[in-house]
Chains A and B, each alone.
Chain A
Amino acid sequence: MKISKAVITAAGREQRTLPLHALVDRDGIQKTALQIIIEEALAAGVEDIAVIHAPGDQTAYRQAAGSHAGRLHFIEQAAPRGYGHALLCARDYVGPQPFLHFVSDHLYVNAGPRRCAQQLVAAAQVVHCAVSAVQATRESMLPFYGTVGGRRVPQSPDLYQIELVREKPTPTQAEQELMVPGLRAGHYLCFFGMHVLTPTVMDLLDEFLQQAGDAPLALSPALAALAERERYLALEIAGRRYNIGVKYGLLQAQLALSLEGNDRAEVLAELVEVLAARQP
């Protein structure tokens, strides 16, 4: 399975500025969030990247992509018709090949030597099917994520067979349908914001679009249908994702990047100084 294309969805009308935020990456270099995501994709072996955007955002994103701007294809989502629809806009772009998909409001910090996207693509190439990156997440964070239910794949400690996908489930629903053996109590496998998807997803999204009428089209129902239609796995990534769209999300992402990078000592010293200077 060769994965040479990536799709970044950045058309959410309330999150248009997130990819433009500047952060300092692990090497101590200031970059936009979009640049960091693009580099994650490139490190996984992707050669070509599409960005789905809202009308009027192309120029800003092109600038935010910096030196990577030349690799990008910009696809406009004319009307805000949901996350699933945004991805569907890239149907012609990806064609009949599997592709790597990122959301634009997440940044990633890997725990081991391989970057998160690298782990995901490597796994997909072994199992030859769609694979979504997941992270065991505490139930209080369920309102922010799509969540999968399933069971471990024998002999593969990080892989799960996905049986069910629910978008932002309630804890009650999660407990009844999405408990995965082997996870800590109150933890569920939530999406990491990174997937290797097969073209079947596009077919499914198209089918759902016909039924949805004017309603927004979500991605999770299509992924749930994917799990019924073909083999679909989840990979528990050795790393962490940071949602920069939530309160203090950007700060947390920045801290995580800094503490994993070259400036670790400097950042820690600054933090200690801030703590020491606090009024009692």
Chain B
Amino acid sequence: MDIITAADPDLRDLSLETAGQGATLNEWLEQCRQLDAFRRDCPNLYERVRALFFLYAIHRFHLPRQTDLPAIGRVPFEGYVHLLDRRFEEAVDLFLQAQAEQGPNDTLASALAEAYRHLGFQTLVNQVRRSVKSVRGNQWMFRTGHPADQPLRIRPQLTTRPAPQTPFPILREVTPVRMDLSHSAWSDIFFLGMDYPEGARVLNVSIDLGVRGRDAAPRPPIEVYLRVIDEPVLRLVSVDLGAHADITSLAEVFDFARDYLGLLKAAVIAAGIVPPGLEGSGQELADLLARLVGPGLGLELASCVNGIPKGSRLAVSTNLLAALIAACMRATGQARSLTGALDETERRLVAARAILGEWLAGSGGGWQDSGGLWPATKLICGVTAAAGDPEFGISRGRLLPQHHLLDAREISAATCARLQQSLVLVHGGMAQNVGPILEMVTEKYLLRSEAEWRGRQEARRVFDRILDALQQGDIRAIGQSTTYNFTGPLQTIIPWASTFYTEILIERVREKFGEHFWGFWMLGGMSGGGMGFIFDPARQRDGQDFLGAAMCAAKRELQHALPFAMEPVVYDFAINAQGTSARLLTGDEALMPPGYYARMVPRWLRTDPQALPATTRAELSRLGAACHIRPELHGMVETLFERLLPRSGPEAQTDQTLAALLAQGGFDAALHEQIRTDVRNGRLGLAQNRLPASTTLEDVRPADVLDASGGLDPACRQAGLAALADGAVAVVSLAAGVGSRWTQGAGVVKALHPFCKLGGRHRSFIEVHLAKSRRLGRELGKPLPHLITTSYLTHAPIREYLAFCRNYGYEGPLLLSPGRAIGLRLIPMERDLRFAWEDRPQQRLDEQAQKVRDSLHAALIHWARQAGEGNDYTDNVPFQCLHPVGHWFEVPNLLRNGVLAALLAERPQLQHLFLHNIDTAGADVDPALLGLHIRSSACLTFEVMARRIEDRGGGLARIGGRVRLVEGLAMPREEAEFALSFYNSQSTWIHIDRLLAIFGLTRADLLATREPTGSGSPAGAQGAADGATEKIAAALRVVAARLPTYITLKDVKKRWGHGQEDVYPVAQFEKLWSDMTALPEADCRFVVVPRLRGQQLKDQAQLDGWLRDGSAAYVEALCAWD
């Protein structure tokens, strides 16, 4: 606690690790008690937050390392529900009460860690929100609850026109985007800026952009158009997202996720046109518009981003939001300048409103992101709060930073020119969610984790060097500093800032350009999307050419391993010296952008001309005339023609490809039809996945499991080593899945994902598993056979990648076991969507984000109804319409596809398989566990581990006297899972002959499927092989029919436009391996293993904790890399 309250920076910045070095379990627990008491009474928000993060870190990292902390405990279900409902205080209280009753244990420590962490972030978010609302100039909007209270009026210049048929003037706002020349070490996160203003500094440059090879010259990428219209509606048009709406109700304005117009809606609200106080008022939008614009009139707001892809790390969306707000504020007199640039006060006001808008729309950005409002290069710094500031006494810094424009005396024009001649800006094609990274940065800052804190201080020194180099005009030195920043401080703070793809690109550029490559520079939250490469100006053009080709080549190599959203692009850019600016377009000049007409004119032409307003008819006429003379409208007529009569080619082609893929993948049309019928008539569904409510489900007894977490009898190890020496074991890695959670449905092959730097470079899951087998094989002097099961979705990418990297140099037999089944996804049933979102406990989000999510759910339910519940899901690339049918099939596939038969033919001594999920990074062929399995004579030995709160998805239970694994989907009641002590790691030791016996098969049956090689009648032998194949298929069908079929919802991304992605929930069916434990003839055993071994990696947000809690080091110790 002294660390938290200390005024002396040396003590205040001490890390928790250092302070707690050598502490015993009881000492840690005593510290927790004091910290919890302190944070409850502490009036200072930031001390409270820091105490909460200390409590989180102690429970997440320090207590679990104490060997005398018992592993097993129970999380009270009620507390878990509190967590989901964001009642974190109540959750903490319940967990502490449970700890008092049960005694401290690892399970409850995980629950407390989760609750404290959430409470910490909730406190922070609430504070930032309060600051946003309390900024002077924003408060009135929250008081305005009735149209009659609306104090704004549209400027008369926008409502004045010479005659009713002439157009209203159009206000056009043009805005650059921003790049962060220094990479600020994420110091622009609001919280950091407010708690550590002296460390919050960025060099922010406003730039115009063009896509190389597409655009003639760089220009401000953001355009916003605002005009008065003759209808009492709010017309919002997003030209770049191809969406528009005529909004007639206030409720729809606040419905952010209903369509792609959320950003425009947020702007209209944040600008005070529809003040946030009107939400839920039950008033009429038309009344508000009448007061604001005039009776019978409305407003039209259109946005246009000139083809700049999402994920550019150039803050396109924040600057678009700011541009929209600027236009709205100019139009309503909130900015003195209707046209031209904004003055400093106005820019700050717009920036504050953009923060409000981002909060309303549930998105987020840093405080530097609306930098495009300002001209050229500026130094943006956090500011210490002083008396009179609303933040004073609450946070150390102000919400809004200070912008200092660097003039020609500070950065010469020659330097700006040299920078433009050296820097190559690109979008690498990856568009990833940086939200988790920003949370990690905040957490590490609060904990002052030693290495990370040193990294942050080093990044500050790098910043000074970059600023100095910029003032000296030394671009080469800038390149050196940004590279050092990326490889040093930034990755020390967040290792995940780099990706395998980025490092390949840097390596190849360096190899090609040598000393002419001056440096790499990361943009935004993480690399892979927007990036900068600094070259000797003499080689910049070569650099652009090379990068264009190198990015495409690297993307082709890694397209199945990493989530690419689009083809990489190289930009042309220029520093924008004006910032945002506006013009009033009048008379014949009053036209919207070409993309607007491409979207709207076909609708107008389909409407009865008499029904069109006179102004629209006049606009059509003006457009017709302008098409002849205005170069930017060249080609408009052809475009309109194509929009009116669209070609049907691509869709037909897609259908054909999908049909072909289904045929090749072993799609069982009859089974699919049966499942679809069952889904539609309610025999299958999320609710039907569950065991009957009357099922008695109990936790296992101590005798039901073998505890190997503290080590095993040496005889087990001896037995295991003997079997290994005999060549009786092979490894099976399950790699048929595409990691829906891992990349939120991006459809990459998880097995190939280079997820973490281990042994000095990024490694994929497959490489990690092979490295473990390599180490063991070398120890034994005998390589271990390694099988990788695949599905149609993953087989070709894995095969090709292994060929490309030469099996990662693996010496032993490495076989792929191709899938023999494929499913076609279905449009979900509304019933299942509602079950998932309404009946099952769901993690509630922060207030505004939850509103956005509720609105999204309503939209998706509407989509399911429109698209036809239970219909085949085909509206995506074929790869995303297919699904693997669950990991149960991966073992029968081994029997059907001849891979096991081949291995048995080659190695008759093979007796056991060690099967594990691809994401169980710590699983290896441990001789002691193998020996335990052999000595038990079991058919299947499953590895389980003590449960933590995040382990959702079933567990080990007693049902009717039988010990078995129960999937989370099958839990008869939500809370039943919380009574179970052990979670399934999915790793299984398999006795091959006993497994075959369950199917009614023998090795001989498998071997009989092989091509005859000896003498005798070839036809007869082939017939016998076919007969054996049929026998195996029939045997598998019999067992399959005895296992439950689950319906699950998976998120699937649909990509479109320039890196845009939508996520749809689709239905698919699965059969799961753990249900083998329900078969009475399967002799199953369960062994408790340490978490380091059994932990599965399901979500990339887990990785940082996994790295910090020693799991990564544990895995590294098991591996031999080459």
Contact = CB atoms under 8 A, between A and B. Distances in A.
Interface stretch (B143-151, B753-761, B779-787): B143-151
Interface string A254-279: 00000000000000000000000000
Find the residue from A138, A140, A142, A174 having the highest chain B CB count within 10 A.
Answer: A140
B151 A139 contact: yes
B121 to A, nearest CB: 30
B332 interface: yes
A170 B332 contact: yes
Interface residues of B, number: 20
Given A141-B151, A170-B151, A175 B140 contact: yes
Interface in A154-197: 170-176, 179, 185-186
B143 A170 contact: no
A142 B149 CA distance: 10
B946 interface: no
B1070 to A, nearest CB: 55
Contact of B151 (A140, A176, A185): A140
A171 to B, nearest CB: 4
Contacts of B150: 140
B136 A171 contact: no
Contacts of B143: 139, 185-186
Contact of A143 (B139, B151, B272): B151
Contacts of A142: 151
Contacts of B334: 170, 172-173
Contacts of A173: 137, 334
Interface in A98-154: 138-143
B149 A172 contact: no
A176 B153 contact: no
Find the residue from B144, B151, B152, B329 having the highest chain A CB count within 10 A.
Answer: B151
Contacts of A172: 137-138, 140, 272, 329, 334, 349
B333 interface: yes
Contact of B144 (A140, A141, A179): A140
A246 B152 CA distance: 16
A171 B140 contact: yes
Interface in B331-353: 332-334, 349
A155 B161 CA distance: 53
Contacts of B152: 143, 170-171
Interface in A53-99: none
A62 to B, nearest CB: 34
Contacts of B138: 172, 175
Nearest to A143: B153
Nearest to A185: B143
B327 to A, nearest CB: 15
Interface string B243-285: 0000000000000000000000000000010000000000000
B333 A170 contact: yes
B132 to A, nearest CB: 14
Contacts of B272: 171-172
A138 B140 CA distance: 11
A176 B140 contact: no
A141 B329 CA distance: 18
A172 B272 CA distance: 9
A10 to B, nearest CB: 23
A142 B88 CA distance: 43
Contacts of A185: 139, 143
Interface in B143-196: 143-144, 148-153
A104 B153 CA distance: 24
Interface string B776-809: 0000000000000000000000000000000000
A138 B151 CA distance: 9
A142 B148 CA distance: 12
A245 to B, nearest CB: 15
A142 B152 CA distance: 8
A172 B141 CA distance: 9
A179 B136 contact: yes
B137 A175 contact: yes
A173 B332 CA distance: 12
B998 to A, nearest CB: 74
Contact of B137 (A138, A141, A176): A176
A246 to B, nearest CB: 13
Interface in B46-88: none
A171 B275 CA distance: 11
Contacts of A141: 151
Contacts of A174: 140
A138 to B, nearest CB: 8
A167 to B, nearest CB: 11
Nearest to A142: B151
A186 B149 CA distance: 10
Nearest to A140: B149
Contacts of B137: 172-173, 175-176
Contacts of B349: 172, 176
B136 A176 contact: yes
B85 to A, nearest CB: 32
A138 B150 CA distance: 11
Find the residue from A172, A174, A185, A186 having the highest chain B CB count within 10 A.
Answer: A172
A140 B148 contact: yes
Contacts of A139: 140, 143, 149, 151
Nearest to A170: B334
A121 B329 CA distance: 40
Contacts of B136: 175-176, 179
A140 B140 CA distance: 10
A173 B143 CA distance: 15
A172 B329 CA distance: 10
Contacts of B329: 172
A19 B320 CA distance: 49
Nearest to B271: A172
A173 B329 CA distance: 11
Contacts of A138: 149
A140 B332 CA distance: 14
A77 B138 CA distance: 41
B153 A186 contact: no
A141 B138 CA distance: 17
A171 B152 CA distance: 7
A142 B333 CA distance: 12
B463 to A, nearest CB: 32
A177 to B, nearest CB: 9
Contacts of A186: 140, 143
A176 B137 CA distance: 5
Find the residue from A141, A171, A176, A186 having the highest chain B CB count within 10 A.
Answer: A171
Contacts of B333: 170
A74 B139 CA distance: 46
B614 to A, nearest CB: 28
B897 to A, nearest CB: 69
B349 to A, nearest CB: 7
A133 to B, nearest CB: 22
A24 to B, nearest CB: 28
A180 to B, nearest CB: 13
A36 B22 CA distance: 88
A122 to B, nearest CB: 33
Find the residue from A170, A174, A176 having the highest chain B CB count within 10 A.
Answer: A170
Interface in B1018-1057: none
A156 to B, nearest CB: 24
Contacts of A176: 136-137, 349
Interface string A186-217: 10000000000000000000000000000000
Given A141-B151, A170-B332, A172-B140, 5 more contacts: A140-B144, A140-B148, A170-B333, A171-B152, A175-B140
26 contacts: A139-B140, A139-B149, A139-B151, A140-B144, A140-B149, A140-B150, A142-B151, A143-B152, A143-B153, A170-B332, A170-B333, A170-B334, A171-B140, A171-B151, A172-B140, A172-B329, A172-B349, A173-B137, A175-B136, A175-B139, A175-B140, A176-B136, A179-B136, A185-B139, A185-B143, A186-B143
- CB-based closest 10 A-B pairs: A171-B140, A140-B149, A172-B137, A170-B334, A171-B151, A176-B137, A140-B151, A176-B136, A142-B151, A186-B143
